[in-house]
Structure 1
């Protein structure tokens, strides 16, 4: 039942991502026109954010489409890592946008530019409406899908950027303070940078075969040792194919009286069921071996 439920959500989640992407592209075009007409650095900063988020939504759509493709003899894990690689490119793009906005903003603090407030206000408000629509659409999807939640976080960042543009426009219109646009752009950049760094760290961790953050490897080992018939565990590895597909392999040393075959009560089935239910690890490779065999292996202590 769980397997069918996941596939039932997949098509709907792809449609939600497609709708959010269409709204984001429309907001990007509007922001580009507004930035060109007004010269607003805040709109340019928000535009950069929109472009990277459009890329993130495209990556999410691609990942959702590729997730259903079967593995092959050349790619035995399938194409699950595509979304990880694209996420890394998106994060690098975010960092480039931040560096450019900060450099431009520092220059405008020395020589402030004149920016019309009313066009900024209108474009920022329309952008915010688009962000809210996208958030509502994405919020109706499968909340267990980290790909979908990541896309929603990007759109939320866009919404905050639009709020910054609106506030800058209001300050410009009411006080005429020439630095409002520049300050708003620097605040948007400060909002983007932590997300970009966090995303880069996550991509780096996955590509280096790091254990998923939500899985304590020491706890996994202790749980395996608690399985009846298990006398030892070594060569334990836990990694992630992508952010939703953890995997694990280990050598399990069993006692002479342990059931090493298949079926209810066997060490293999007991351990596999425990790993699925307790840690959510479905892809497991367990080598069951006798105590005498373990002493003939060159393995980690």
Structure 2
């Protein structure tokens, strides 16, 4: 903080922790959330490959009577859907803010991630029920075409996973689609292993066991995505960000007496926002140095907590009597 600000505002000096006033960074210079140019072409490539393979896999699964292959085809269908929804969400999120949509459509990607989580859990539950039934009454599985299809599927999913991984996975929307594809890759590995076991030993229940492995992977990915997306939709503080740490940093800036009504939340992936009431020395308003103090506070939030959107209400100590709800 500058010497002019320190000298002109009344109240005791507080040694600042954030040296942001002398070199305020360019806020909003870094981008947040969905980055369409970094995502679209890779997602379209993955969508095209998966759609073509899905048709072939369903045909082989029905002819071979393989639950593992058919369940993986069902999961592959959710992969196709997740990529299609991800592309749709990217297009929505690129729309500018207008009218009642003051943040634009950025949250569309979070809704997409929540949808991916729901489909993983629902498909996993359906496969779980059928796998248990087949463990009790195992049907005959023609393992040779299952093995060939699974091996081809492994190759296709490796290419698709590579393509989607090159997109911006800091977007929860893209990460959700990636988790779908990664789970499907492991599912193909389990299916191939089951086919090998059936060919080598004739143990038909290996197909159902492979399906159960896929169920575990679906539930794991689905629950993780559900937890991450629900935190954002419920406007919880970003992971790793403690309100007490933010308050402590702000209180260490010179002439800040109190911080209340402090809220921090995530608008969309990597796009955090904060609002707070900051009580400062009365003299900061009298000598017109409040704008410099505001710059210091916002720079502190940007540098230490990567919060690029902050709304701070500076108040004199006497304003507390007019507050109706302080928390």
Name the CA shift for 1:193/1:70 in 2 (closer, same or farther; >3 Å): same
Aligned to 2:18: none
Q: CA RMSD in A?
A: 2.3
Matched, 1:26 2:52: yes
Once residues 311 and 201 of structure 2 are traced to their aligned partners in structure 1, the CA distance between those partners, rounded to angstroms, is 66
Deviations 1:178-207 (A, max 9, x none): 101010001101111121122222222222
Matched, 1:36 2:62: yes
- Higher deviation after alignment, 221-230 or 170-179: 221-230
Match of 1:183 among 205, 209, 216: 209
Unaligned runs of 5+ in 2: 1-25
Q: Which has the larger radius of gyration?
A: 2
8 Å CA contact retained: 1:80, 1:241: yes
3-state SS of the aligned residue for 1:237? strand
Name the CA shift for 1:256/1:74 in 2 (closer, same or farther; >3 Å): same
Match of 1:67 among 61, 74, 93: 93
Aligned to 1:244: 270
8 Å CA contact retained: 2:78, 2:119: yes
TM-superposed CA distance for 1:9, in Å, is 6.1
Alignment of structure 1 residues 1-301 onto 2, 5 Å: 3=29, 10-142=36-168, 144-258=170-284, 260-262=289-291, 266-301=292-327
Aligned to 2:16: none
TM-superposed CA distance for 1:270, in Å, is 1.0
Count of aligned pairs: 298
Unaligned runs of 5+ in 1: none
3-state SS of the aligned residue for 1:112? coil
The TM-score with structure 2 as length reference comes to 0.84
Name the CA shift for 1:109/1:269 in 2 (closer, same or farther; >3 Å): same
Q: Which protein, 1 or 2, shows the higher relative CO under an 8 Å CA cutoff with sep ≥ 6?
A: 2
3-state SS of the aligned residue for 1:295? helix
TM-superposed CA distance for 1:290, in Å, is 0.8
